Amino acid sequence: MSEPIPLILNVDAISAPLTGIGVYTRELARGLSGDRAVAPLKLFSAYRWVDDVEQAFAVNRTIQSVRRVLPFRQFALEGYTKLRAELFRWNARRLRGYVLHAPNFVLMPFDGPSVATVHDISYLRYPQFHPRERVRFLERHLPPTLARADALIVDSHYVRDELVNVLGVDAAKLHVVPLGVDAAYRPRTPDELAPVLARHALAAGGYLLVVATQEPRKNLERLVEAYAQLDANVRERVPLVVVGARGWLDASLARVIEPLERKGQVRRLGFVDDADLPALYAGAFGFAFVSMYEGFGLPLVEAMASGVPVLTSNAASMPEVAGDAALLVDPLDVDAIRAGLARMVDDASWRAGAIARGLEQVKSYTWANTVAATVDVYRAAIARAANAAPALAHQRPGADAVSVPRAGVVLVNYNTADRSLRCVRSLRALAARVRLVVVDSGSRADDLKALEAGLAHEWPGAELVASPVNIGFAAGCNRAITRFLDDASVSHVLLLNNDAVAAPALGDWLCAHLDGRADADLAGGRVLKLGAAPGESGEIDSLGIAFYRSLLASNRLAAGDPFFGPTGGCALYARRVLEALRDAHGGVFDEDFFCYAEDTDVAARALLLGFTPQYSDDVLAWHEGQASSGGGFNDFVLYHGIRNSIWMAVKCVPATAVLARLPWLVALHAGVILRHSLRGKGRVVARLYRDAFFGLARMWKKRRKIQRARRIGAREFGARISARFYDQGYLRNALRELWGAPARDSSAPPPPERDAESATDRRSGLD
């Protein structure tokens, strides 16, 4: 027989109101206290040793009361964490041979073998579902825990896979230990139910139940909206009963609930004593739990054990926990939730089967099994600590934090929420590897509202940054990039035009860079024109940027032209490139450009710093083109495209490269003036050259900084310039117009600069 394991169990989570993590910690403490495999067992709560669960409750209640009244919650939390760590270190200083278990994510400092339970990474996947101080706390303290722990417990295979794939944790140190359910959760007779239900004015079988903290992650707002769509007679017969303490950001939920509450069709019981919960479950006609994200979902197991049919989400761990016993629905789809509720109410055959399957499903979910499996993890931690195995598969030598290979994705929206949401939908398969930031650049109120609602439905983890005024594409991208560079988890930034649609190959291409199988500084690929549906058009929109002999850029349409860099419509930048641009030049995108040619400017500056662009001939996206700037080659495109191309050349092109191409430069601009003046655009042409001239002093000041920092010579830069004068299709159309013949594509001729069809600009565009 193995020797007993001396154990320290942190019981801070045992506090009112008792959450799922609190229940888990309480049941571990109770189970381990009677387990001969663990001895001695020491419980640490807040700042001292405690004798049992009840004493832990009392200590934590005092701590919570003090923390609630402290100002500056983030500083208070950090200060308390540091103080608690020092108090624990002092209390445990003489203990030798013990294992430390932290059941609530974060380890305290300890020299012996240690185990932490990580219930989920919702703070990372859905930061908007948590108070800011909680997100910051976990961002700061969880990575060191993942690195230091000798073993990590997770509640489900889903969370295990997330830790491996998203946070790069070594799978060998992860152990899946499902939670259990108390024997009090069981089917009950009407006589057993009567006392509790009478206290809450409920009738057995006369209500639908949800048990969840009233906070955004639990998705109660959509559940109530779906319930409100049921027939009135159903709502009268089985009101929806909401059990759970108030959380945060629940004002919108209250607005949805209150009209139904006044009719008696929804009832909020708030926090309910543990002693009443088993009867409330067992007395329900059905249980609905359509959370956005759970690491396990203990209420599911409690409901199934109580003999109640269950409706739950098809997301995260919930399908794994519920098996085939529950009805699964898309938590983002109100209509699907309504249909699920209707079936739970009306389909007697399904109900009977679901109850039977649920009772069978939960047989393995016992706290005795949880405790036994946890003891096995303690032994694994002792063995691993003895072998001093590396903590993380992806950890760099000497690193304290976990490598988080994610891409920051930027979309800029201007009065085109429908296009932005279409683009978002095309990226959903990459959600685990992406931090999505959508910047709204002063859109109309109705468009912004549609964007907010759509993002909440399509990608709840997305961050929306709304500017009250139109700041343009360049500034919009900078707003997002600043956030990404403050986030150590972001290794690459992907720009997509909001009127683009990601192609299937984009995911593999992106993950190859995130996982180190590809290592481009800045990269792009083949972008096709968007047909009536993605894939219908094989016509090339862009193969990246081509920088021509006339020192004007355009979409690269011929593979023979040198690849100058990726268009902002589909461009991937390694973090090192963005940091170098920021440090050497004072910023990434030049906000003076507003939009158009700003991606050419970034490509040129990156090239001057010694970075190399890389082209992939895979189809990465389909692109509509110029959705935000009014469509076609209009005055706006003409003005910004030509003005910014002049500024870019002044800033970035080495002097000898300019002199060598000066005749072609003069010829091109003479042609632009002639062509567009003959088309009746003389005033626009005059304004753009006037403004380009008056901006030269600013550009020259920037040039001095850029040229001082450059690491390549004029010849190397010139190797990226095409030998051709300009895009042949554009020149043919220009000549046809001069001779009085219609252009071949008069609806949308390519503009006299590389980006007119490129993603970048159209989307931010404009006025």
Residues of the chain with pLDDT under 70: 1, 59-80, 247-250, 388-405, 532-538, 626-633, 727-767
Tell me, what DSSP letter sits at residue 200? Answer: T
Domain parsing of the chain, residue ranges? 5-176, 190-362, 406-764
Whether 601 and 590 have beta carbons less than 8 Å apart is answered as yes
pLDDT at 736: 61
The residues that bridge with 571 in the sheet, in sequence order, are 495
Amino acid of residue 524: G
CATH of domain 5-176: 3.40.50.2000
Reported pTM:
0.55
Omega before 751 within 30 of 0, i.e. cis: no
Whether 731 and 725 have beta carbons less than 8 Å apart is answered as yes
CATH of domain 190-362: 3.40.50.2000
pLDDT at 765: 32
pLDDT at 468: 81
pLDDT at 1: 53
pLDDT at 628: 59
406-764: CATH architecture: Alpha-Beta Complex (3.90)
CA atoms within 13 Å, Cβ hemisphere of 174: 25
Quote the CA–CA distance of 528 and 424 in Å, as a whole number.
18
pLDDT at 748: 38
5-176 against 190-362: fold identical: yes
* Nearest by Cα to 436 from 468, 403, 404, 458: 458
189: three-class secondary structure by DSSP: coil
* Nearest by Cα to 594 from 644, 663, 557: 644
The dihedral region occupied by 438, where left means phi > 0, alpha psi between -120 and 50, and beta the remainder, is beta
**Please, what is the angle between helix 598-608 and helix 696-709, to 10°?**
30
Quote the CA–CA distance of 371 and 223 in Å, as a whole number.
34
| φ and ψ of 515, to 5 deg | -90, 0
Alpha helices (H) in 332-485, listed in sequence order:
334-346, 348-361, 367-387, 417-427, 445-458, 472-485
- The residue written with tokens 């108030």 in the block is 246
Quote the CA–CA distance of 227 and 229 in Å, as a whole number.
5
Residues 716-738: b if buried by 16+ CB within 10 A, e if exposed = ebbebbbebbbbebbeebbeebe
3-state secondary structure string across 158-187: HHHHHHHHCCCCCHHHEEECCCCCCCCCCC
pLDDT at 113: 95
3-state secondary structure string across 616-682: EEEEEEEECCCCCCCCCCCHHHHHHHHHHHHHHHHHHCCHHHHHHCHHHHHHHHHHHHHHHHHCCCH
- The residue written with tokens 């499903």 in the block is 361
Whether 196 and 261 have beta carbons less than 8 Å apart is answered as no
pLDDT at 168: 83
Q: Per residue in 266-314, pLDDT tens? A: 999 988 988 999 999 999 999 999 999 999 999 999 999 999 999 999 9
pLDDT at 767: 25
